[in-house]
Amino acid sequence: MTRLTTELPGLALKNPIMPASGCFGFGREYSDFYDLGKLGAVIMKAATGNERLGNPTPRVAETSSGMLNAIGLQNPGVDKIIANEVPFLAQFDTKIIANIAGSTLEEYEYVAQAFNQTNKVHALELNISCPNVKEGGIQFGTDPTMASRVTEVVKKASNLPVYVKLSPNVTDIVSIAKAVEAAGADGLSMINTLTGMQIHLPSRRPIIANKTGGLSGPAIKPVAVRMIYEVSKQVQIPIIGMGGIKNAEDVLEFLLAGASAVAVGTANFQNPFVCSEIINELPQVLDKYGFNSVQDAIGKGIVA
C-alpha cells in the first residue's frame, strides 16, 4: 500500500491513472514511449462482436479547448483482439480493462463471454454511450430501463467486474446511474463525450463526415466534474472519472468530486507521455494540497 494506490472492484491499482478507451488503441503505439507497466490500468479500444470499419473521414476536428471525433467504433472484432492484442498488453504489469460495445443484447453478451474466457482481462467497461454510430450502444445508454437490461445481461455473461460507461447526453444522469447500480454494475465510468458539431465556413458543411461527433478535451471537464459529483452522492459503487484531464491537478479535482480512479483521453494525442508524467507529478500535487494519499482525497470536495 503506497500513497497512490486505489482499490476498486477487481482492480487493485498501483495508481489511479489509466488511458481512456479509444485514445490509446491497444497500447502498442504508446509502449514505444514508456513502460506501460507504470500505468494503473489500460482501457482498451472498444470491442464489438465482429469487425467494424468505422465512419468515413474526416473523423476528427479541433474545437476550442477540445476536439470532436466520430471514429465509429472501428475495431477488428473481439476474437482478433483477444488473439492479437490482449496477449501483448498482458506482458505488462498493469490491469487490463476491456471496453465492450454492441448493437444488440446478444452482441454485448457474446463479447463479454469472450473476454471472460481469456483470464487476462481484469474488468469490463460497458460502452452504452458511443454517440457516433447508429447502433453502437447509445440507445442503451439514454434510457434507464434499457441501461439496466444490458447491464444484467453482461453481468450474467461473465464473472468480471462491470463498469458501466455513462453518456452525458441525457437529462438526468443520476437516474441512469441508479438504474445500472440496481442492475448489478460494480462501478461507473463517466463521462463519455458530449455530442457536438462544427461547420466549415468556406464549404458550409460539417467538418466531420458523420456530421456530428463526440466532444472531448478540457472543454468538457467542468461537465464531467459536476456529473461525477452529483452521481457519487447518490450511488454506493465507485466511479472511474474522465473528461478533459491533462495534469495531476485535474486528477485531484476528479478525486475530490468523488472519482476513485481516472482515465486520461484526448491529452494523449497532444502529449504521448501524459499518463506517465501525471503519475510522476501526482505525489507532489497531493503534498501541495495537504493529502497523504489518493484514498484520502476521494470524495473530499467541500460543497456546502
| Binding piece for another protein, criterion CB under 8 A, among 95-103, 172-180, 185-193, 262-270 | 262-270
Q: Should residue 193 be labelled a site residue for another protein when binding is judged by CB under 8 A?
A: no
CB 163 within 8 A of CB 128: no
Under the binding rule (CB under 8 A), the answer on residue 67 touching another protein is yes
Q: Which of 16, 22, 161, 243 binds another protein (CB under 8 A)?
A: 22
Comparing CB distances to another protein, the nearer of 187 and 214 is 214
Report if residue 92 touches another protein, rule: CB under 8 A. no
Told to judge if 23 belongs to the known catalytic residues of this protein, a careful annotator would answer no
Please check whether residue 214 is in contact with residue 195, taking contact to mean a CB–CB distance below 8 angstroms: yes
Of 97, 112, 124, 130, the active-site residue reads 130
Q: Which is nearer to another protein, 60 or 146 (CB)?
A: 60
Element housing 212 (H / E): strand 212-216
Partners of 60 in beta bridges = 69
> Beta strands 123-127 and 162-165: pairing type?
parallel
- Identify whether the C-beta of residue 70 lies closer than 8 Å to the C-beta of residue 197: no
Select the residue interacting with another protein from 3, 5, 9, 25 (CB under 8 A): 25
Instruction: Based on the shown chain and the rule CB under 8 A, indicate whether residue 243 belongs to the binding site for another protein.
Output: no
Least distance (Å) between residue 69 CB and another protein: 7
Residue 117, helix vs strand vs coil: coil
24 binds another protein (CB under 8 A): yes
Alpha-carbon radius of gyration of the chain: 18
Burial 81-105 (b: 16+ CB within 10 A, else e): bbeebbeebeebebbbbbbbbbbeb
Residues that bind another protein (CB under 8 A): 22-25, 28-30, 32-33, 45, 53-54, 57-63, 65-67, 69, 71, 74, 207, 217-218, 266, 268-273
Catalytic residue ranges: 130
